[in-house]
Chains A and B, each alone.
Chain A
Amino acid sequence: MTVIECQNVKKRYMGKNALESITFQLEDKKITGLIGRNGAGKTTLLKILAGFMKESSGEVKVFSNNPFNNLCVSENSILVDDQMSFPDTLKLTEILMMAPSFYPNWNAELATGLFEYFNLDAKQQHSKLSKGNQAMFNAIFGLATRCSLTMFDEPTNGMDEAVRTDFYRALLKEYIAYPRSILISSHHLAEIEHLLEDILLIHKGKVVFHQSLDEVKEYAVGIQGPTEKVEAYINQQEILHTKQLNRELQYTVVRKDSSMKYEGVTIQPVSASDVCMYVTSDTKGGIDDVFK
């Protein structure tokens, strides 16, 4: 079953095209990573999916409804980000007590369990929490809603290393206990790679690819060897990244073509995270180009 369906979605925002043309479908009960560089449009896309913003054109469907002003979407989806706000008149525990009347699947046990594990102060106000604790509370809230579509926008911003690891583990366990569609955005794929089944890579408001993690890992190969030899191999292929290692040696990343046979060069797999980075960079040589 399809959870999200986007057809040529555009969004003009602050005089710029935040989303150029987004087309993808998201299937049920998968953890998908929404990957992209800063300003790629991840947050805008998530806000449109959550019904916070309205697309300028194109078609957005979440659970077959347009999410903007749709009660069903609001009830069955949640977007956790660092702008989540709760009234200052309520203490954290009171917020958690309010939630079940909104979210019928609310898991109070999980919420209190995680709340205590992460040592959050029950009497504290949401806005007075440290950035890390705020992020943690939001994440707990998001997980406990058990919404069919749970979206996280950079959920670990502000969390320290140990807490991040704990959070990812909690996310995974909750997902296994109660499978749902999870869309988690990050500019740092390596950190969440172990959670993901699918990757949706967007760049400059466009979908670059939407593939399973395994496919992404097979997306490209790195060819390393003497410059002339490497260049001979790569001239018909799309170069994703290239780097002159020293006077003779060159390292170039190209789209993987299993029919190709390589000789005299070493072939290296390219990690998913690197693939995403190379695919979305404007120059082929990366930062080195600046210093040429």
Chain B
Amino acid sequence: MSNVAILSLLPVIIMLVIAWLIFGGLKKVAKHISMNQRFNKGVIIVYTGLLLLAAVVYEFLPDSGYEMITQKEYHQFENENRAFKQAFGNNEVSKLDTKFLIEEWTQELEGDTFAIVSPGSDRPAVRGYVEWTDTKERVVEGKMYRTNLYMYGSNLKDKLPLLKMQWQGNELLIERPAKQEIKFYGFSNQLVSLSGILSRHEYGSLDMQGETYIYLKVPKHMNVVDELGFLLY
């Protein structure tokens, strides 16, 4: 028996002791309240009614929440992500699913040099690819894609602030969103204490973070100061 197991038992034992005290107290209190059968029945009916009402109200609450995906949908989305990643890796631009396209622009530059930079010290989680073109113009085309983002079974793609791509003079800024904490409630019909036991849980297994992809078309004659390592690909 490891010490961990003994320690994990401790709260249970403490809880038992507390519960025992509470029940002991309840029993004493109950002795002094002369309870009326009709009152009892009333309380029970009202309470049960309230619970049922809550279950019904929950179904009709304005749908500010996000739909949970099913296991089947999850697999489908996961495949989409995988296919996109593969296509991107193989530079098969035509195969990139347009449904993941977030923004698209064409920028005319003044000089022959531009830089891809990101403020802050951490490198943003982004995959980039630069395709060289033969054009003589100073035009850079850019596309940003975001693949499926599902957390805890809900689609958070529209809810979360994403990376931003913008031009500042000759700099292409790839900015991370401001530090932020987003809180959600999640509800479950299952006992979480059994979820480890029952292998499959409504949450957890349905995580899929997806990725941000940036695809740039740059004329060959241009110089790129590549801080983010896009050119490596």
The chain A residues found within 8 Å of chain B, CB to CB, are 88-91, 94, 125
| B37 CB–A CB distance under 8 Å | yes
Q: Is the CB of A125 within 8 A of B34?
A: yes
Closest CB in chain A relative to B18 CB, distance in Å: 26
Q: A89-B35, A90-B37 are in contact. List 4 more A-B contacts (CB 8 A).
A: A88-B31, A89-B37, A94-B37, A125-B34
**Nearest opposing residue in chain B for A124, CB measure:** B34
- Interface centre among B31, B34, B40, by most chain A C-beta atoms within 10 angstroms, is B34
Q: Which of B21-71 contact A (CB under 8 A)?
A: 31, 34-35, 37, 40
**Residue of chain B at shortest CB distance from A128:** B34
B185 to chain A, nearest CB (A): 39
Residues of A near B31 (CB, < 8 A) are: 88
CB neighbors of A among B169-226 (8 A): none
CA gap between A88 and B28 in the complex, in Å:
13
Size of interface on B: residues with Cβ below 8 Å to A: 5
- B35 CB to closest chain A CB (Å) equals 6
Q: Which B residues are CB-close (under 8 A) to A91? A: 37
**A94: B residues at CB distance < 8 A:** 37
8 A-B contacts, Cβ less than 8 Å apart?
A88-B31, A89-B35, A89-B37, A89-B40, A90-B37, A91-B37, A94-B37, A125-B34
B26 to chain A minimum Cβ distance, whole angstroms, is 14
B29 CB to nearest A CB, Å: 13
Q: Min CB distance, A46 to chain B, in Å?
A: 30
Bound together, the chains give a CA A88 to CA B34 distance in angstroms of 8
A162 vs chain B, min Cβ distance (A): 29
- Complex contacts, B37 vs chain A, CB 8 Å: 89-91, 94
List the B side residues contacting A89 at CB < 8 Å. Answer: 35, 37, 40
Q: Which residues of A contact B35 (CB under 8 A)?
A: 89
Q: Which residues on B sit within 8 Å (CB–CB) of A125?
A: 34
Within the assembled complex, what's the spacing in Å between the Cα atoms of A89 and B139?
87
Specify which chain B residues have a CB less than 8 angstroms from the CB of A90 in the assembled complex.
37
Q: What 8 pairs between A and B have smallest CB-CB spacing?
A: A89-B35, A125-B34, A94-B37, A88-B31, A89-B37, A90-B37, A91-B37, A89-B40
CB of A89, distance to nearest CB on chain B (Å):
6
CA distance A276 to B37 in the complex (A): 49
Chain A residue numbers with a CB within 8 Å of B40 are 89
Min CB–CB distance B207 → chain A (angstroms) = 51
CB distance from A80 to the nearest CB of B (A): 25
- Residue on B nearest A90 in the bound complex, by CB: B37
Chain B, Cβ-Cβ closest to A125: B34
- Report the separation of the CA atoms of residues A91 and B31 in the bound assembly, to the nearest whole angstrom: 14
